[in-house]
Chain A
Amino acid sequence: MVVGLREFALRTGDGSGKPILDEPNGEELMLVQPSVAVALGNRSIESPGTLYITSRKLIWLSDVDMAKGYAVDFLAISLHAVSRDPEAYSSPCIYTQIEVEEDEDEDESDTESTAVLDLSKIREMRLVPSDSSQLDTLFDVFCECAELNPEPIEEEEEVGGGHNWVFSADQMDVHGGAEEDAEWQISQSPTSVIGHSNGDEGLAQPMLELQINDQRFEDAEEMVHESEPKDH
């Protein structure tokens, strides 16, 4: 469900260059911060651009290349912080860690990503506003938006439950199949046919003895007789 960073180029056609939001589903623009540069992972900084913070995600759009932009859902932002130490990064920035898919083959991707950047593997993003006095405001808006996007636990449980249910239904099918198979084996397999014929003889005698020795087993005898026509 959670994907990392992705390309984003959905802009309104009115020339303003603003992103198209999922307004029918309640996505709102929370803050627009002009003149923000972005640095993905250890890559060099890209600028100039504009940061759009929506109720769902961060969108950074290049001011010069209308086809260039990135987006990341707040659901995928593990951590954000204000970074002001010049030793850690040359410019004061908002530092974010991005949750990425873990099950990828990392070694392979590392060698490949030297040629083509795989955005979904970017784990860190720095947003550098030219006006660093905005950092605290940005931090607060990030916090607010993160809280607007809690983990969809109940949905996940429902989905998970759904999966479980479907899964157990599958399992039931499998069990059903197994049972049918078992029945089939009992009625069709040569061994049970042999067993059956043996059983006829083997059962007949004890039953006869039981009939003689103990009348209490009459019911059992009837049951054997009842079950026999089914088998034939």
Chain B
Amino acid sequence: MLFFSYFKDLVGQEVTVELKNDLAIRGTLHSVDQYLNIKLENTRVVDQDKYPHMLSVRNCFIRGSVVRYVQLPPDGVDVDLLHDAARREARGG
């Protein structure tokens, strides 16, 4: 649930979602649900030469289970808050 809450705070920010099939999609985080399914808006494929047909995709729903990484904006990370939350989660609290 930590990541769910965390990603919810990132809604509206620009992120890059890298899928397990190596496709990386950059876009504005529109929403995230408890399964970490991610909806992006104004998306563009990072490697456009490799995936030309994805150019047109404006909004996109990505299944949480196929996400490998989510690259965050550097200023989108409140390190202290994340540390605290991670500690709390680790303690099972």
- A residues contacting B by CB (< 8 A) are 77-89, 95, 97, 99, 124, 139, 142-143, 146-147, 150-151
Complex: how many Å from CA A79 to CA B65?
10
Do B56 and A84 have beta carbons less than 8 Å apart? Answer: yes
- Known A-B contacts A77-B63, A79-B66; the reply to A85 vs B21 at CB < 8 A is no
Q: How far is the CB of B71 from chain A (nearest CB, A)?
A: 17
Residues of A within 8 A of B61 (CB): 79-81, 139, 142-143, 146
Interface size bracket, B side: 20 to 34
Determine how close the nearest CB of chain B comes to the CB of A74; give it in whole angstroms: 8
Contact of B19 with A95 in the complex, beta carbons under 8 Å: no
CB < 8 Å A-B pair total: 69
Main secondary structure of the interface of B (DSSP, over half): mixed
Choose from A80, A89, A97, A99 the contact partner of B56 (Cβ within 8 Å): A89
Most buried by A among B56, B62, B65: B56
Which residue in A79, A142, A146 is a CB contact (below 8 Å) of B19?
Answer: A79
Partner pick for A85 among B39, B55, B62, CB 8 A cutoff: B55
- Whether, in the assembled complex, B35 has its beta carbon less than 8 Å from a beta carbon of chain A, the answer is yes
